[in-house]
Amino acid sequence: MQYNKVEICGVNTSKLKVLTEKEKMELLRRVKEGDTKAREDLINGNLRLVLSVIQRFTNRGENLDDLFQVGCIGLIKAIDHFDISQGVRFSTYGVPMIIGEIRRYLRDNNSIRVSRSLRDTAYKAMQAKERMTAQNNREPTIEEIAKELDLPREDVVLALESIAEPVSLYEPVFSDGGDTIYVMDQVGDNNDDSNWLDEIALKEAIRDLNSREKRILSMRFFQGKTQMEVASEIGISQAQVSRLEKAALDKIKKDI
C-alpha cells in the first residue's frame, strides 16, 4: 500500500476517527433500534479497519480506491448482521466479512473470465473433496468426486482448473538475499545457441529418475494432465503426486 497516501476515495485517512469498543457497542445497539445516524457514525468510525484489511491485498495490482469501496461494503454488511448479544468484539466479526467481500470481488473480476456455473461447480467439487477426505481419511479421486456430484469427470476437471490463479511473470521464484529470480527469467529463448547443451543435460538428469517419477513428469508435462488425473491413473493421492513431482524436479535441477 502507498503508506504516504493520505487520501483514498476522497477520504482523508489521517483524520479518520477511531472508536473505542464501548463506543462501537453503543452505536451498534442504536443501529439495531433503527438509528440511521448511529449507523453512519459506526461506518465512519471503522474505516481504519477497512484500510488495515486492504493492505493484505496490495500486491495484486488492484486499484486501492476500488478495494477500499469493496471493503466498505463488507463493513456495512458486518454492521447490519452483527449480533451484539454474542459478546464478541466487532472487529472479530467485521474483519472476516471485509476480507470475504474483497476476495469475492477479486474472484469475480479476475482477468481470466470464468462463468458463474463453472465457478459453482468448482466450489462444489472442493467442498465434496473436503467432505470425502474427512469421511474416508484419504483424498478422493476425480472420478469419486464426479460421481458424488453426479457430473461428468471432464466437467469437474475443467471447473477445478478454471479457478487456479495464473502465475505472474513477475512472481519471485528464488531469492538468496541478493538478486531475485522471477518467472520471466526462466522463460527460455528458442534461438539460444546454448539450448542444445541444456537439452543434453536435461536428458541426462531425467535418465537418473526412477520409472514412477519419469511417468509422472511425462503425464504432467508432455501429456498435459492435471495432478488429480495423474493420481487417478497411477492410484495414489494428489498430494503424493505433488510431492513426487516436486522431488523429481528438484533432482533434475540439482543434476543440471
Model pLDDT for residues 181-197, shown as the tens digit of each residue = 555 555 555 554 455 55
pLDDT at position 184 is: 55
pTM, full prediction: 0.43
Q: Are strands 172-175 and 180-182 parallel, antiparallel or unpaired?
A: antiparallel
Q: What is the mean pLDDT of residues 82-104?
A: 86
Residue 2 has pLDDT above 50, yes or no: no
d(CA 29, CA 84): 7
Give residue limits of the domains in the chain: 7-108, 116-162, 188-255
Q: Name the fold adopted by 116-162.
A: Arc Repressor Mutant, subunit A (1.10.10)
pLDDT above 90 covers a percentage of the chain that reads 11
Fold of the CATH domain 7-108: Four Helix Bundle (Hemerythrin (Met), subunit A) (1.20.120)
pLDDT of residue 3 exceeding 60 = no
Q: What is the pLDDT of residues 100-126, one digit of tens each?
A: 888 888 776 665 555 677 778 888 888
CATH 1.10.10.10 corresponds to the domain 188-255: yes
